[in-house]
Structures are given as C-alpha cells and as structure tokens.
Amino acid sequence: MRSKNATETLDEKIALLEGRRAYELEQLQEQWKHTYESMKPINLIKSTFRDVASSPEIKGHLLNNVVGLASGYLSKKILFGSTHNPLKKVAGAVLQFAVTNFVGKKMEKAKDENPDQISDLPR
C-alpha cells in the first residue's frame, strides 16, 4: 500500500470540511425556521397561555379571581337584576366590587390556612 501524498490528504480534509459545512448549514436553517415560527404573534400568545396554564401559582390566583368575580356578578344580578336606573347600576357595580374583593380575600385566606384542601380542587 502506498502512502498518501499531501494533495490526497488535503483533498480528504477539504471533503470532510465541506460535509461539515453542509451539515451545519442545514442545522442553522432548521434553527432559523424554528425561531421564525416561535416569533409569530399567534405562537407567542399560545406559548404564554401554555406557560400560564402550567403554573400552579397562577392557577390558584386565577381560581380565586374567577370565584370572586362570579360571586360578585351573581350577587349583583340577584339583588338588582337588569335595571335601567343609573343609581341602581352604580349601587350594583359597588356591590359587585365589594363582594368580589370579599370572596377573593376569603379564598386566599382559606388557601393559606388549608393549602392541601384548596390545591386538591379539580382543574
């Protein structure tokens, strides 16, 4: 077997480097596509909602807020219904705000006192 001369060795190294360059270019193009897709506004919104949905702390606060808002809205509808009187509308809004805050604080206090029971609620 004859030994390789400098030209053959150089040609092999060039071929290896060209193969490496082609592979790295392909990887760079794939990364560009992935980055481009992730920066689209709809995908940013989706990822934000996915992050929010996976955070247990945010879920707890969201549950407190939803329960507070629902109870405030229901108390307003029960006591004032759908009225056209501006004074009753303002009183209903004040009542809704007060009940929402009251229930939200009570939910937070109950969560702090019994974290195991509140975290077991269905999601």
Give per-residue pLDDT as tens, 14-72.
999 999 999 999 999 999 999 999 899 998 898 888 887 788 877 777 778 888 888 88
Contact 95, 80 (CB under 8 A): yes
Determine the residue type at 83. Answer: T
Residue 70, token pair as written in the block: 């629902």
pTM of the complete model: 0.47
Query: From the centroid of its chain, how far is CA 63?
Result: 15
pLDDT digits (tens, 9 = 90+) for 58-116: 777 777 888 888 888 888 888 888 888 889 889 988 998 898 888 888 887 777 777 65
Residues 6+ apart with CB under 8 A from 85: none
pLDDT at 123: 46
